[in-house]
Structure 1
Amino acid sequence: MQEPAILDSHLHLVDRSRLDYPWLSGAPALDRDWLLETYAEEARRIGIGGAIHMEVDVADARLEDETDWIAELAASGIFPIRGAIAACRPESAEFPAFLDRSAARDLVVGFRRVLHVVPDEVSKGELFRQNIRLLSGPDLPFDLCVLARQLPLAIELVDSAPNTRFVLDHCGVPDIEGGQWDTWARNLSEIAKRPNVCAKISGVVAYGGAGWTLDELSRWVTHTAETFGPERICWGGDWPVNTLGGGLSTWVAATRAIFAGCSAEERAALYSGNAARIWKL
């Protein structure tokens, strides 16, 4: 039986002629343009039928410019972009006005502020947490992008905003190469107790080191899936970051193998149904 088309919930695009990416100079393996045409060619070949764009931590002054650019790409017909998870700065007093503007755009389906590039104290601030609570009004989810050591920080943030929906990126960014299992597994199980949190099975090939194997990767992915359950997980590619661990096709193949024993209904939920529900597509 043919598998359902994948809805990729985590696509990054980079065009240095359009936007400013201060972090790219410190990531030489990724310091180039990553364009929709390149992604689309590979994605179509491996059964990806649409994508949600994930913000790429552009310069602060360019946050809304990124959304404008993704809107142009969505209208271009190059590949189906079903929504955009926009960058935001909840630590700013300007956030409520920004939220009003962004929520009025049909393309914007959620928000993210990468938390491992700022001091831990940022997300502990009352203004930050107050602004995250505002997301419950338009019911737009907030993606949690934290390192494994920051999972307790993510739990604190979730507990401070019980009416806001959250999506934990990349299985909580486990240190697969270093085998740092115990604390990660315990904290992942703890955050999964919060019913307003879902998990993204996304891009973990980038954390396995050059010699990762399917058996090694499966342990971490399976724990995430079992901890959150089949209704609270979705699939994400994390292109182009996944090129650090084999690339998009390799990650799709690994995921297909790991979840091959699940029911057709569970696989359909993972690959498309849950994402469509989480981001109201």
Structure 2
Amino acid sequence: MTSTSDDVRTDRWLRLDGTTNTRDLGGLPTTDGGVTAFGRVLRSDNLQTLSDEDVRRLLEDLRLSDVIDLRTTAEVLLEGRGPLRAVAEVTHRHLSLLPERGHHTDVFAVEEDEVPDLPADWAETVLPRQTTEADEVEPPAVRSYLGYLHHRPENVLAALRAIVASDGAAVVHCAAGKDRTGVVAMFCLAVAGVSDEEIVADYALTAEVIEALVAKLRRSPTYADDMTRRDVASHTPRAATMRRLLEILGERHGGPLGWLDEHGFGAAEQAALRAKLRD
């Protein structure tokens, strides 16, 4: 896909009216001298506030076919249906990376007209610190990411499989597009053959838009309290966080690909994902 003055893409960033942290996983060098392809996989913050023009551009210019939503059921129900939910041609998958609480486990099947009664502690899962005892020595963000892999490995794999199965471009998103989305993006890039340092740099790129991102989330009642209680610096992704996650995956599993292989996403599926991400 070539860039033009009217293109939605400026370099890897997608400049949309309704999002703050949307970018393409294309354009990154691989260790074998290749490059990841544009227009295959996007990573983003919440899509609830996309404008009509945003939707048109995503559908017509980028051929968006799949939305992979990593938020909790509570987040989705409280935020309401985004504009892409009305597009029949777009497949939506809800794959929370957090343990779901209560009886609402398939938000797109439920589709309530009103927000149902939710567990009193649902808010703890919005920006959670799920972890295991063995990882308590790690920094908070690293513990969170390891928690995703410990509690919901099946949904990490399901997100990758959804990308492989997508007919056009797939967008992976959560609320901010940096933590849950960052972990899925890490696996995508690792499978594509992108180096650890490039993966770390992509993760840290969200820092360029963090003030606008926090301001956006503060305008939503769903996230306002957490955004207000902690300062912008505490929400800013740091290269050391992703670097440490990659180190741990290397120590315990031989790297991201080893973790995938151990959890049933083997050589054939990795090859299919690699083909999706590269020309």
Same fold (TM over 0.5): no
State the structure with bigger RCO (CA 8 A, min sep 6), 1 or 2: 2
TM-score, length of structure 2 as denominator length = 0.37
* More strand as a share of residues: 1
